[in-house]
Amino acid sequence: MVKTKVGIVGVTGYAGAELLRILITHPYVKIGAISSVSFEDSLISDVYPAFYGFCDKVCKNQDKVIEKSDVIFAALPAGLSQELAYKCNQEDKIFIDLGADFRLSNEEDYKEWYGGEYENKNLHRQSAYGLPELFRSEIRGKKIIGNPGCYPTSIALALAPAMKARYIKSSGIIIDSKSGTTGAGRGTTQTTHFPECNENFAAYKIAAHRHTPEIEQTLSIAYGSSVKVTFVPHLLPVNRGILSTCYAPLAAGIGEHEVRSLYERVYGNEYFVRLLPEGSVANIKNVKYSNFCDISIHTDERTGTLIICSAIDNMVKGAAGQAVQNMNILLGLPETTGLEFVPPSF
C-alpha cells in the first residue's frame, strides 16, 4: 500500500506536536518531513522525548517539508501561512492551516482582528472552512483548508443546528467558554505562568477575543443573516479541554423536547458529535485526548432560555484532530481513520 506523505510546519508547538502524535499512527500516511524555526536541525525526539522510538526525524526548513510531502499542515501563528499556502498551491499540494489566515471570509474582519491583509485573494476564494460536521460538501475537492479555531469549533457545533432551524433568537446570545492553558501555545506568558494560573480561574479578553468574528461568521451562515454574540473566554488551570456554555433566548413555542429532537436528527450520523442523554452534562474530562465534541441540552423554563454545554479537547477536535479529519475527507478516507481514540475515564 502506497502511503500519502504528510509534513508539518511548526511541529514543535503544541498543535504541531499533537498533529505528529496522531499522524505517526495513522494507517494511510507517513511522515515526509517536519520543520521548526526554533529547533531547526534538532531531532523532534530531543524536543519532545515522548516521541523517542516513534519519530526521530530532524526538523528541517519549510521548503523541505513542501518538497517531501503531499499534504502539508501548518501550525503557525496568524500571518505566517499565506506565503506557505501559495507555495503549496503552486506545487498542487494540499495545505491545511491550523492558524487563522484562512478562517475568515471577510478580509476587513481579518484586518481588524489580526492586523493583516490577504496577500493573494484568489487563494482565499479557493479555500474552505474546515468544520466537517457543518461544511463537509464545501471541503471536498479543495486544496486549501482553514482549520477552525478551538473556541469556534465548540460553539458552532453547540449552536448551529438551533440557529439554522430558528429555534433560538439571533440577539441576546451569550457564550461563556473555558479553556485549558495549551490553547495559549507553548510560549509562556505572565497569564499562563504556573504561579499565575494554578489554583486560579479568570476571564480574559472580555468581548475582545480574536475568535469572535469567526464565531459570528459561522452562526450567521447558519441563521441566514447577521448574528452578533457576547463571547467571554476564561482560562482554566488544566492542560487540555474547552467547555463552552451557550445561552440563547428560545423562539416562541420551542422547548427542550423540540431542541433535543432537532439535534438527534442533525447529529445522529455524526461520529464525532456525541449528544448526551437527558440529565447528563458535557464535561472536558470525558473528551480528553479524543476528537469528540460532547453536547448536553438544557433549558431554563422560567426565562425561556436554551442552555447548551459543549466540551472538546482543544488540542484534538479544536486543532490537530480536526485537521486530520479534514485530511481524511480530502483523501477520500473514512473521517474516523486514525482518530478513533477512546477518552480516558480518569
Helix axes 132-139, 150-164, angle to 10 degrees: 90
CA pair distance 287, 297, nearest whole angstrom: 17
Nearest to 314 by CA among 181, 189, 161: 181
Q: Check 55, 59, 88, 150 and give the catalytic one.
A: 150
The matching CATH number, chosen from 3.40.50.620, 1.10.8.60, 3.30.420.40, 3.30.360.10, for 151-314 is 3.30.360.10
CA pair distance 289, 186, nearest whole angstrom: 18
Distances in Å between the Cα of 305 and the Cα atoms of 217, 232, 279, 294, 297 are 22, 18, 17, 20, 11
- pLDDT (0 to 100) of residue 188: 66
Confidence band (pLDDT; 50, 70, 90) for 162? very high
24-47 pLDDT, tens per residue? 999 999 999 999 999 999 999 999
Confidence band (pLDDT; 50, 70, 90) for 341? very high
- CATH 3.40.50.720 segments of the chain: 4-148+317-330
Number of H helices, E strands in the chain: 12, 14
- pLDDT (0 to 100) of residue 189: 75
Distances in Å between the Cα of 150 and the Cα atoms of 5, 154, 319 are 26, 7, 6
30 DSSP β-pair partners: 5
For residue 293, indicate whether it is catalytic.
no
166-194 pLDDT, tens per residue? 999 999 999 999 999 988 777 667 777 78
Local structure of 274: helix, strand or coil: strand
pTM for the model stands at 0.96
Q: What is the CATH number of domain 4-148+317-330?
A: 3.40.50.720
Residue 316 in contact with residue 277, Cβ under 8 Å?
no
- CATH 3.30.360.10 segments of the chain: 151-314
> Rounded mean pLDDT of the chain?
96
